[in-house]
Amino acid sequence: MLQCIFILSDSGQVMLEKQLIGHKVDRSICAWFWDQVISQGDSFKCDHVCVEILALYLLDFQFLCRVADVLSDYLEGLNEDVIKDNFVIVYELLDEMIDNGFPLTTEPNILREMIAPPNIVSKMLSVVTGNSSNVSDTLPGATASCVPWRTTDIKYANNEVYVDLVEEMDAIINRDGVLVKCEIYGEVQVNSHITGVPELTLSFANPSIMDDVRFHPCVRFRPWESHHILSFVPPDGLFKLMSYRVKKLKSTPIYVKPQITSDAGTCRINVMVGIRNDPGKMIDSITVQFQLPSCVLSADVTANHGAVTVFTNKMCNWSIDRIPKDRAPALSGTLLLETGLERLHVFPTFRVGFRIQGVALSGLQLDKLDLRVVPSRLYKGFRALTRSGLYEVRS
């Protein structure tokens, strides 16, 4: 049973407090928690918001992940400013998601029927009328259904279901150009618009490559355990059916080769980008970012393709988009070091971004999608997308 939820800012201050039972938990526990965050460094920190839950069981930690997913989905992001701008929505969601310390309604599609997501119109109306509540006056239809994530009276003129494989590649390449780590985090996202209460089965051609799988509550575990088949009654609309990892990949689609030399108070930088393994589809939205060391006073960098921007915080962003066929994109420039510093001793790490539509670089392949009871003609669609996650090249 959960006792309380605190949402902390990036500086460790309590932004939101939700006491869940009669026994109140003192805020001083947050100071201890933040000390642990600071002592562990970046490996313990969340990207924007730290959520601390006092709990005893793994179910509570799973609920914490669901709270973060729902807030991110509702607010289209999860950071300190977004939380402050939507205090009412956050409190209303927590009221519906947990009751007296126990998880209650956690399905995003059902929550959307109960609490309207924030938008400009609702914010203007709340200012005019003074009513800031977004809670619906009627209960969602799923409350009377035997399937808690789906209503029973759904009807569509056309029955459609679309499956997307969305993957992110995490890779680390050391200064010698050796691939130290390369793995894929992927999600199977389903957008379902089917009449009634359908039962779907989804199978893969090579399910054995997947590790660390996580499922939506609609998935029946026994068919997956015995035959690696996903059997489920889908929620209505878009939802994440499962997530997975594919580890120990041997190659990356593009290469980034940085060369940095320094002498006599100046530093010369050269970066080349090209295709290492052609995935068969266009690679676009290619970017290279790196943070200039604090000892660099000024930077003069140019590129033969794309646009280069050096921001005031010394972050350099090279936007390439697509690699041309006639030449390899290259960035070159000169960095001026602080007075008295002959050589550069701290070398930047290059963060690479890209996107490939129509390809799942993990090699995962969908086999077939079947509907047991077909109310009418069913339209099915499959897509794949791979983009960069934490893709680092060290110099």
Locate 153 and state its tokens: 């009276």
The residue count of the chain comes to 395
Give the long-range contacts of residues 217-221, CB within 8 A, separation 24 or more. Answer: 217/107, 217/149, 218/147, 218/149, 218/150
Instruction: Enter the pTM of the model.
Output: 0.76
Task: Tell me the residue type at 295.
Answer: C
Distances (CA, A) of 231 to 21, 128, 225: 37, 48, 11
- CA 68 vs. chain centroid, Å, equals 11
Taking residue 381's Cβ as centre, other Cβ atoms within 10 Å add up to 11
> 293: buried, middle or exposed (CB in 10 Å: 19+, 13-18, 0-12)?
middle
Digit-by-digit pLDDT tens for the chain (395 residues) are 778 888 888 888 888 888 887 778 888 888 888 887 777 665 454 443 444 444 445 667 778 888 888 888 888 888 888 888 888 888 888 888 888 888 888 877 778 778 877 765 555 555 555 555 566 656 555 555 567 788 777 888 889 999 999 999 999 999 888 999 999 999 999 999 998 888 999 999 999 999 999 999 899 999 999 999 999 999 888 899 999 999 989 999 999 999 998 888 889 999 999 999 889 899 999 999 999 988 888 889 999 999 999 998 899 999 999 999 888 999 999 998 888 888 888 899 999 999 999 999 999 999 999 887 766 678 999 999 999 999 999 98
Residues whose CB is less than 8 angstroms from the CB of residue 35 and which lie 6 or more positions away in sequence, other chains included: none
